């Protein structure tokens, strides 16, 4: 598996991973009607992230199997907090879950962000992803409802973790 910075020409492959991952992995945590309404907003690559240099893809044998990244700005706003970065738009192909894909992308995010002064990360975790982020050293702050489309709000968990806690959890056993 290789992790590299995403490019604009990765958009279709990222869309495909998101389209496979979101409905399959989120179905156990959200009712079908809410998920169907929210999916169109979730299964599209975000051009600004693809151009940021802080969004990554995981490839295996030339096939894109995961994606995710980070930003200084809080998703959906322009708010900045010194030392804080936000994990963004993560997904792993359902056939590759629990094989270290997400952890490898988070490790890249951690390395790149800490080189730019980040000391803490936040994430808006979908309900099904909370255990993944907990395993990385992030802790639950509160429950939030994320706007996905007019009249559509997706329950999520706002989580936060310090870089030292995350580095400890990401060290190989």
Closest residue by Cα to residue 50 from 5, 15, 115: 5
Per-chain mean pLDDT for the chain: 95
pLDDT of residue 78: 87
pLDDT of residue 128: 96
Let me know: does 89 contact 124? Beta carbons within 8 Å: no
Tell me how far apart the alpha carbons of residues 153 and 147 are, in angstroms, rounded to a whole number: 4
The domain made up of 2-170 is a member of CATH 3.40.50.970: no
- If DSSP codes are grouped into helix, strand and coil, which group holds residue 112? helix
Tell me how far apart the alpha carbons of residues 164 and 43 are, in angstroms, rounded to a whole number: 32
Which residue has 């409802």 as its token pair?
Answer: 145
The answer to whether residue 173 scores a pLDDT higher than 60 is: no
Tell me how far apart the alpha carbons of residues 118 and 48 are, in angstroms, rounded to a whole number: 20
The answer to whether residue 72 scores a pLDDT higher than 70 is: yes
């Amino acid at each position: 598996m290789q992790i590299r910075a995403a490019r604009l020409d990765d958009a279709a492959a990222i869309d495909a991973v998101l389209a496979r991952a979101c409905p399959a992995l989120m179905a156990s945590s959200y009712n079908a009607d809410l998920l169907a309404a929210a999916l169109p907003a979730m299964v599209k690559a975000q051009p600004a992230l693809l151009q940021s240099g802080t969004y990554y893809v995981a490839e295996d044998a030339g096939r894109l199997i995961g994606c995710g990244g980070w930003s200084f700005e809080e998703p959906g706003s322009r708010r900045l907090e010194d030392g804080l970065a936000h994990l963004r738009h993560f997904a792993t192909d359902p056939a590759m879950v629990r094989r270290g894909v997400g952890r490898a992308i988070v490790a890249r995010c951690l390395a790149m962000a800490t080189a730019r002064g980040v000391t803490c990360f936040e994430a808006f975790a979908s309900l099904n992803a909370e255990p993944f982020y907990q395993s990385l050293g992030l802790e639950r702050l509160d429950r939030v409802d994320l706007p996905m489309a007019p009249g559509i709000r997706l329950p999520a968990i706002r989580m936060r973790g310090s870089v030292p806690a995350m580095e400890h959890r990401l060290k190989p056993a």
